[in-house]
């Protein structure tokens, strides 16, 4: 299959490229490197031993997208490109709507012009807001509490509208829970700019000595140990789900959402303990107040993805921590500072 991947140089994109190339598909990547670096794609090339097309282009540039899609003629698109920091989205809502929503409209127009009717879209568990019940099924009410989450909801709704309007259109809407971990080679991983917002890269940077301590945001939640509980999923498991979703788009119609999680809640303290074991390092931490907008618990019912995509997460918490530690310890400053 010919697969166009937007945002392929990013954290989830690089790991997905490795799986998609490994499955034998032809790949063309579009990225503007606003949150990634060319070195990430070089490593994908080296690890996969495969070549792929790449265009530096911005999702806000409809003309460029139309040109590249008409040229490559994809059978399907995997759409990662977008901005993803919740706090930043509150400060800069227009940038989020422009990159995420307008960028997706541009992509969908370009797909139409290139006669491509299949898309795999990166949505997020954030579309469930503060959950009414656990584990969260795909039928849980949708809501969001910040512009980032609303941009995902708007895109999901556009995809459902398109599927209603065009019976040939197919969208696999993948709602990721908390992606963590790295490729087993230690060559690709998460490389956030500045101070990490997310727990796992923060723990990893503390373990490697880049930061002093982890701030635990809240230890008075109604959870077994008082700290926040999430459904962490290994990025390689997540990447494999995209290959399954690509196959699914070739034999189905309509827009369908799938939860991608392990189905198990892990607390902040459990994650710190598991990482300390996997790395053999001390992880100093201090208890801080709750972070605004955080919820106590969030974990998936991933059974639909297993039943309909034939996909199930396989890597456990130890594997998540070990691979993340390999990446972090072998690339303490990320991609641009080679050991
Ligand atoms: P990332 O920032 O590492 O990757 C996104 C990639 O898209 C980057 O390479 C960036 O340069 C590119 N990009 C962004 N805006 C662009 C634009 N306007 N034009 C061209 N390229 C652009 O993020 P990620 O963690 O790999 O996430 C990928 C997708 O998954 C995003 O849509 C994100 O919202 C979604 N998601 C991520 C998480 C998570 O925790 N990482 C959870 C749920 C959903
Ligand atoms: C996990 C837990 C924190 C950092 C976010 C987005 C979500 C999705 C994934 C894109 C929580 C605690 C964190 C720290 C801490 N992204 N924590 N100290 O908030 O579940 O989800 O990323 O779609 O939309 O909101 O992930 O990793 O930030 O937090 O104690 O330094 O770790 O309070 O309980 P979150 P996270």
Ligand 1 pocket member 7 (CB < 6 A): yes
Residues 21, 53, single domain; the answer is yes
For the record, the structure tokens of 165 come out as: 């309007």
CATH number, domain containing residue 288:
3.90.25.10
Residues with a CB atom less than 6 Å from ligand 2: 84, 86, 124, 126, 178, 197-199, 202, 214-217, 228, 230, 268, 291, 294
- Confirm if 126 and 152 have CB atoms less than 8 A apart: yes
Half-sphere exposure of 286 (CA within 13 A, CB side): 5
Question: Does 187 reside within a domain?
Answer: no
What pairs with residue 229 in β-bridges? 267, 297
- CB count within 10 Å of CB 174 equals 25
The arrangement of strands across the sheet holding 2-6 comes to 53-56, 26-31, 2-6, 76-79, 118-124, 170-176, 254-260
Q: What does the alpha-carbon distance between residue 53 and residue 31 come to, in Å, rounded to a whole number?
A: 11
The answer on pLDDT for 313 being more than 80 is yes
For the record, the structure tokens of 147 come out as: 């512009």
Cα separation of the two ends of the chain: 36
- Looking from the CA of residue 124, the nearest atom of ligand 2 is 23
Residues 224, 256, single domain; the answer is no
What is the CA(106)–ligand 2 centre distance, in A?
Answer: 30
Question: Does 188 reside within a domain?
Answer: no
**Which ligand gives the minimal distance to the CA of 56?**
1
3-state secondary structure of 72: helix
Residues 144, 204, single domain; the answer is no
Q: Considering only CA atoms, which of 71, 52, 41, 58 is closest in space to residue 6?
A: 58
Residues 221, 240, single domain; the answer is no
Give me the residue label for tokens 């399954």. Answer: 244
- Give the pLDDT confidence of 166-194 residue by residue, as tens digits: 999 999 999 999 999 999 999 999 999 99
Q: What does the alpha-carbon distance between residue 230 and residue 177 come to, in Å, rounded to a whole number?
A: 8
Question: Does 338 reside within a domain?
Answer: no
- Give the pLDDT confidence of 237-285 residue by residue, as tens digits: 999 999 999 999 999 999 999 999 999 999 999 999 999 999 999 999 9
pLDDT value for 336? 81
What is the CA(257)–ligand 1 centre distance, in A?
Answer: 19
Residues 220, 254, single domain; the answer is no
Question: Does 286 reside within a domain?
Answer: yes
- Looking from the CA of residue 86, the nearest atom of ligand 2 is 25
CATH number, domain containing residue 157:
3.40.50.720
Ligand 1 pocket member 32 (CB < 6 A): yes
Q: What is the pTM of this model?
A: 0.98
User: Looking at residues 60-67, what average pLDDT do you find?
Assistant: 98
Beta strands 2-6 and 118-124 are unpaired
Q: What does the alpha-carbon distance between residue 4 and residue 30 come to, in Å, rounded to a whole number?
A: 8
Residues 128, 65, single domain; the answer is yes
The domain tally of the chain equals 2
- What is the residue range of 273's domain? 199-230+263-330
Question: Does 239 reside within a domain?
Answer: yes
* CA dihedral (216, 259, 173, 243) positive or negative: positive
Beta strands 229-230 and 266-267 are antiparallel
Q: What does the alpha-carbon distance between residue 52 and residue 311 come to, in Å, rounded to a whole number?
A: 26
Residues 226, 242, single domain; the answer is no
Residues 272, 150, single domain; the answer is no
The answer on pLDDT for 339 being more than 60 is no
Residues 250, 285, single domain; the answer is no
Question: Does 174 reside within a domain?
Answer: yes
3-state secondary structure of 274: helix
- Looking from the CA of residue 190, the nearest atom of ligand 1 is 3
């Amino acid at each position: 299959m010919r697969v166009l991947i937007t945002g392929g140089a990013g954290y989830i994109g690089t790991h997905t490229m490795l799986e998609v190339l490994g499955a034998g598909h032809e790949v063309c990547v579009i990225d503007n490197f606003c949150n990634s670096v060319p070195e990430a794609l070089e490593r994908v090339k080296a690890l996969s031993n495969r070549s792929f097309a790449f265009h530096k282009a911005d999702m806000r540039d409809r003309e460029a997208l139309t040109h590249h899609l008409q040229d490559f003629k994809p059978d399907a698109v995997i759409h990662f490109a977008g901005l993803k920091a919740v706090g930043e989205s509150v400060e800069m809502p227009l940038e989020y709507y422009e990159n995420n929503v307008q960028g997706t409209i541009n992509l969908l127009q370009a797909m139409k012009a290139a006669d491509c009717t299949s898309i795999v879209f990166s949505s997020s568990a954030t579309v469930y807001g503060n959950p009414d019940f656990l584990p969260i099924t795909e039928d849980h009410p949708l809501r969001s509490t910040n512009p980032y989450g609303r941009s995902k909801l708007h895109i999901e709704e556009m995809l459902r509208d398109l599927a209603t309007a065009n019976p040939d259109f197919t969208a696999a809407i993948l709602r990721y829970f908390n992606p963590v971990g790295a490729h087993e080679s230690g060559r690709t991983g998460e490389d956030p700019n500045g101070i990490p917002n997310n727990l796992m890269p923060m723990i990893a940077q503390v373990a490697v000595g880049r930061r002093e301590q982890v701030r635990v945001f809240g230890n008075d939640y109604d959870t077994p140990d008082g700290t926040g509980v999430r459904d962490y999923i290994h990025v390689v498991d997540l990447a494999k789900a995209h290959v399954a979703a690509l196959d699914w788009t070739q034999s189905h119609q309509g827009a369908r959402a799938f939860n991608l999680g392990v189905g198990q809640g892990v607390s902040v303290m459990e994650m710190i303990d598991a990482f300390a074991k996997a790395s053999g390092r001390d992880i100093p931490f201090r208890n801080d107040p709750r972070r605004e907008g955080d919820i106590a618990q969030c974990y998936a019912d991933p059974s639909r993805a297993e039943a309909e995509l034939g996909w199930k997460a396989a890597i456990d918490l130890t594997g998540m921590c070990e691979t993340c530690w390999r990446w972090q310890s072998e690339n303490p400053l990320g991609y641009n500072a080679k050991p």
